[in-house]
Each structure stands twice: as C-alpha cells, then as structure tokens.
C-alpha cells in the first residue's frame, strides 16, 4: 500500500510532467504556430515519452486547448483584471494602466512572438471552430471590460459624452493587436512604445474639459 508521502511525491511528479509538456508546447507554438508544431516536436522538447503524454492529454488538440486556457487565464489574471479591480477608479487611468502592462509584457519578450492570443486567432479562426470560439470569448471579454468601464465613467461625468464606449473599445483592441503584430514584424519595441503613447493621446481626447 502506498504511503501518504509517496502519494504526494507521485502527485508532484505528475504535475511536473504535465507542466513540462505544457511549457515545451507553449514555447514551440508561440514561435512556430499550432499547425507547425508536431507532437514529436513537443515530446522531444519536453523530454516526455508518448505514453506519458497520452496519460495527460487525449490529443494534440486537447493539449492546444490546455495551452489556450493557460494563456487566457494569464491574460485575464495578470494583465487585464488587476488594472480594473477598483470599481471607483478613474476609467482612463485604469485603461492607461492596462496599456502599460501590455507594453511591459512586450518589453519582457523584447518584441519577439507578438500576442499569443492574436497569433492563434490569425492562424486558426478560419480553420478550427473550437479554437475560434474560445478565442472569440476572450476577445469579447476584453472588449466588454473596456466598454463597461468607459460607460460607467461616462455616467459619472469623468469621460466625455462624445465617447462611444463600444466603438472605442473595439478600436482599442484592434489597435493594440495591430501594434503587437507590427512589433513582432519589425523586432523593434519602439513600435509598441509609440503605439501605446498614441493610444494614450487618443484617450485624452475624451477627458472632459474644464
């Protein structure tokens, strides 16, 4: 009979194996894309055998969904939600906080790889409905968060009536995704810095004039 300590070790080893697979696959897919990352590539990169892989994942698709869930969770918990956690916070300051977090994330990668969500959306939206639906939901959450904070601020008089919250939210998401794509293409973080600065200048247009 297995002791409690041995069971704990086995659980830790299992988590470590699963995390190794996810980490290796994430690195490969971020650079090469989902379709150009084979299962053999993942096994070689992670050092995990095929039997162990299928213990944790039913298929490459199942692995892809797990990676996407990880990316979405990280985006929501570390980048989006922290800037909007205060319901009484100034809307434009919260959005600027979010812009700064996106910029710092790109700086940390030195502009390499672009936006993981945007990359998967561009690669898979037309060919894989499962991924398209999951990606659409996170982009919808992003747009809704921006729309809600702008609408609330407008009702409080801290954002000008000329602001159209839904249109502005769509514009911000599209602009930032484009900025990350250009930064990936040029390998120049100055592109992202300039786009964030221009986005902040655009937002300042909606500050009520005294």
Residue-wise DSSP of 28-40? HHHHH-STT--HH
Task: Quote the radius of gyration of the chain (alpha carbons, Å).
Answer: 20
For the chain, give the percent of residues with pLDDT over 70.
92
Q: pLDDT averaged over the chain?
A: 88
Q: State mean pLDDT over 59-84.
A: 92
Q: State mean pLDDT over 45-59.
A: 93
Least trusted range by pLDDT, from 84-93, 135-144, 169-178: 84-93
Least trusted range by pLDDT, from 12-26, 93-107, 164-178, 193-207: 12-26
Which long-range contacts does 179-185 make (Cβ < 8 Å, 24+ apart)?
180/102, 180/106, 180/114, 180/115, 180/118, 181/114, 181/115, 181/118, 183/106, 183/111, 183/114, 184/111, 184/112, 184/113, 184/114, 184/115
Question: Confidence band (pLDDT; 50, 70, 90) for 15?
Answer: low
Structural domains for the chain = 1-57 (1.10.10.60), 65-204 (1.10.357.10)
pLDDT for residue 4: 39
pLDDT for residue 12: 40
Question: Confidence band (pLDDT; 50, 70, 90) for 7?
Answer: very low
Least trusted range by pLDDT, from 33-42, 81-90, 100-109, 167-176: 81-90
Q: How deeply is 203 buried, as exposed, middle or buried, from its count of CB atoms within 10 A (0-12, 13-18, 19+)? A: buried
Q: Residue 81: which of 138, 38, 35 has the closest Cα?
A: 138
Question: Confidence band (pLDDT; 50, 70, 90) for 9?
Answer: very low
Q: Is the pLDDT of residue 69 over 90?
A: yes
**Nearest 5°: phi and psi at 208?**
-55, 135
Q: Is the pLDDT of residue 180 over 90?
A: yes
Q: State mean pLDDT over 124-129.
A: 92
In whole angstroms, give the CA distance from residue 101 to residue 60.
31
Q: State mean pLDDT over 165-185.
A: 95
pTM to 2 decimals?
Answer: 0.82
């Amino acid at each position: 009979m297995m002791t409690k300590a041995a069971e704990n070790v086995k659980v830790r080893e299992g988590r470590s194996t699963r995390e190794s697979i996810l980490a290796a696959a994430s690195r490969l897919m971020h650079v090469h894309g989902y379709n150009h990352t084979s299962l053999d590539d993942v096994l070689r990169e992670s050092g995990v055998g095929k039997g162990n892989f299928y213990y944790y994942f039913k298929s490459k698709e199942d692995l892809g969904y797990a990676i996407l869930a990880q990316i979405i969770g990280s985006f929501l918990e570390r980048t989006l939600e922290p800037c909007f956690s205060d319901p009484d916070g100034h809307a434009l300051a919260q959005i600027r906080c979010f812009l700064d977090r996106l910029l710092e994330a790109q700086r940390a990668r030195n502009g390499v790889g672009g936006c993981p969500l945007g990359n998967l959306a561009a690669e898979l939206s037309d060919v894989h409905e499962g991924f398209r639906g999951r990606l659409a939901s996170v982009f919808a959450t992003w747009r809704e968060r921006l729309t809600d904070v702008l609408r609330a601020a407008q009702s409080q008089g801290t954002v000008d009536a000329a602001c159209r919250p839904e249109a502005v939210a769509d514009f911000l998401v599209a602009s930032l995704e484009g900025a990350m794509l250009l930064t990936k293409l040029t390998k120049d973080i100055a592109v992202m810095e300039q786009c964030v600065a221009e986005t902040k200048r655009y937002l300042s247009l909606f500050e009520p004039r005294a």
